[in-house]
Amino acid sequence: MFPPNSIPRAGITPEALLRLEILLGERVVDLAAVTEVAGLDTGLKTHILQLAHDTGEMADAVPSLHECIVEIGIEGLRETLRLARMRRLAN
């Protein structure tokens, strides 16, 4: 879904990845909690904003972080998490 180089090099902290993984592993994902985690981690926030912008749907608007997360979707966030894990293992 996303190219492997779409994960920012400045990086998402391991703590944010773990919290995101836990949230995305739930049967029902709490998007407000995902937004809170992303809002506290600069790397994750930047990545989500960039992905939402790159989808083209929000390129002309100034969306909130929550709107960007909704735009990316749960599967997009899971893919981001998967790519981030692969990048961490490669380093």
Long-range contacts of 66-69 (CB under 8 A, 24+ apart): 66/31, 66/32, 66/35, 69/31, 69/34, 69/35, 69/38
Residues in contact with 88: Cβ distance below 8 Å, sequence separation at least 6, in sequence order: 14, 17
pLDDT for position 61: 65
Between 91 and 33, name the one with better pLDDT.
Answer: 33
| H helix intervals, the chain | 14-25, 31-40, 42-54, 65-90
pLDDT for 17-63, tens place per residue? 999 999 999 999 999 999 999 999 998 998 888 888 887 666 566 78
- Mapped onto helix, strand or coil, the DSSP state of residue 62 is coil
